Chain A
């Protein structure tokens, strides 16, 4: 190593502006939904139906539908149609436009336990001002006009009007 290099080391690279190398990982993905999710997503798209799978061993009804019961570890075989109404278990109102959020903030995300299911699902709440959101409120699914066989075929959940 020459003296010039040693001098650089001795200074601890002082005065050298570190370079930043811009890059990104860009890999296209095609996730196979599998037969279970496909049946569920077709139900949303073609029939505006939300379907859950029930474990015949422990009796628990899962949404998102699970091909096998994670606890009993046996295949779930019984499909159940749900009504599309449910209860908010928890929620948040995203206020800062973070990179993952595709909608314009504020966006209300909620964990919704649909009537007839034992587990809850994630989705949006719309049709209510954020300040009025409450855990325990009743909501119902609003389907999108243009449905493509994705979870967004449910456009959002909205409050059930008190009768």
Chain B
């Protein structure tokens, strides 16, 4: 019989731009040890391990095999799931299915990246089709800029609206000791920062980060023995429908629309804006924070700038987004989606300390990457029905 699944422990490194004091598998180990400590279990209690990153960011083939010393995978089942930027959320979705299948009781899920070890833009460029897209497209920023331009043209949004999102996330990061960039910024500072690709300024985008995250998921029986306040996984969904950059509807994130409709249907969520209490959004640049929550169905198309401008998504607002400071404050790519999952779990479990949102019943965490792809998880405080 399929099992209910819950998160019972999370762990993160203190994310930094460079971690010269550790190699990759030593970095992984820090997050794994933190998650085991959080759940108060031992590595011998773990039945299987899922790990993910993006190969060409570190240039290590068969990372699942190479990282055994750090992951604790010696003589255990270890599997690698990799889907690009969405990886961190894809590994968490993987953990859900491994436990839900009834084949494993406790699964350790790891996402990591040492982005300081390579040329991130050079490596991302190789993600795209070598014949059609690779020669004319460099890194992730130009695609994101095209999305922002299309959205601004369609709905009349301004660069200031984007900057407001960066200001929010950077302010939130002040309360998260694991975030990399912990300094408040203003809208004027964002607009005055160097223009990378119109309309995106330097302070509209995420930094490069070395970091790792780990999550422990358990089946119902185990979970309730480990903790009295597990974070139940209510549903998972994703869409990776596009393969070529020209496939997308620029200005809208179709994958988010389809995945969230699927997710909320599976989870029985009818009015997401009312029912969801906090969102950890994989939002590598400011405008994504506007566009993508519209596609998630939180608000209608074009309503993002006003909704965010009025402070609804700030801490203390109607629906806080990225209490952790989000991706704008920290982006170790293969870990990033899993950090969203960690943070959502911490919110549900009441473990978010300084950046805790009160009384979280439902939380959503997401992953973004690939060719306009979205992965999503619905987290809940109450045990889901069958």
Contact = CB atoms under 8 A, between A and B. Distances in A.
Q: Within the complex, are A and B direct neighbours (CB within 8 Å)?
A: yes
Contacts of B20: 32-34
B58 interface: yes
Contacts of B153: none
Contacts of A21: 130-131
B117 A30 contact: yes
25 contacts: A21-B131, A27-B59, A27-B123, A28-B122, A29-B59, A29-B117, A30-B118, A31-B58, A32-B18, A32-B22, A32-B114, A32-B116, A34-B21, A34-B22, A34-B23, A34-B26, A35-B21, A35-B22, A37-B23, A66-B69, A68-B29, A70-B69, A71-B74, A73-B42, A73-B43
B15 to A, nearest CB: 15
Given A32-B18, A68-B69, A70-B68, 4 more contacts: A27-B126, A30-B117, A34-B22, A68-B29
Interface in A14-43: 21, 23, 25-37
Interface centre among A29, A32, A37, A71 (most CB of B within 10 A): A32
Contacts of B122: 26-28
A66 B68 CA distance: 11
Contacts of B72: 70, 73
Interface of A: 21, 23, 25-37, 66-68, 70-71, 73
Given A21-B131, A67-B26, A70-B74, A32 B19 contact: yes
A153 B185 CA distance: 48
Nearest to A68: B29
Contacts of A28: 118-119, 122
Contacts of A33: 20, 23
A52 to B, nearest CB: 14
A23 to B, nearest CB: 5
B240 interface: no
A26 B122 CA distance: 8
A51 B138 CA distance: 44
A27 to B, nearest CB: 5
Contacts of A31: 23, 58-59, 117
Nearest to A74: B33
B56 interface: yes
Interface of A is mostly: loop
A27 B114 CA distance: 14
Interface of B: 18-23, 26, 29, 33, 42-43, 56, 58-59, 68-70, 72, 74, 114, 116-119, 122-123, 126, 130-131, 134
Nearest to A31: B117
Nearest to B73: A70
Nearest to A32: B20
A21 B43 CA distance: 47
Closest 6 CB pairs of A and B: A34-B23, A70-B69, A32-B20, A34-B22, A29-B59, A73-B43
Contacts of B114: 32
Given A27-B119, A30-B117, A68 B59 contact: no
Nearest to A67: B26
Given A27-B126, A32-B19, A67 B59 contact: no
B130 to A, nearest CB: 5
A27 B43 CA distance: 35
B333 to A, nearest CB: 14
A109 to B, nearest CB: 18
Given A21-B131, A25-B126, A70-B72, A36 B26 contact: yes
A163 B120 CA distance: 55
B20 to A, nearest CB: 4
Contacts of A34: 20-23, 26
Nearest to B21: A35
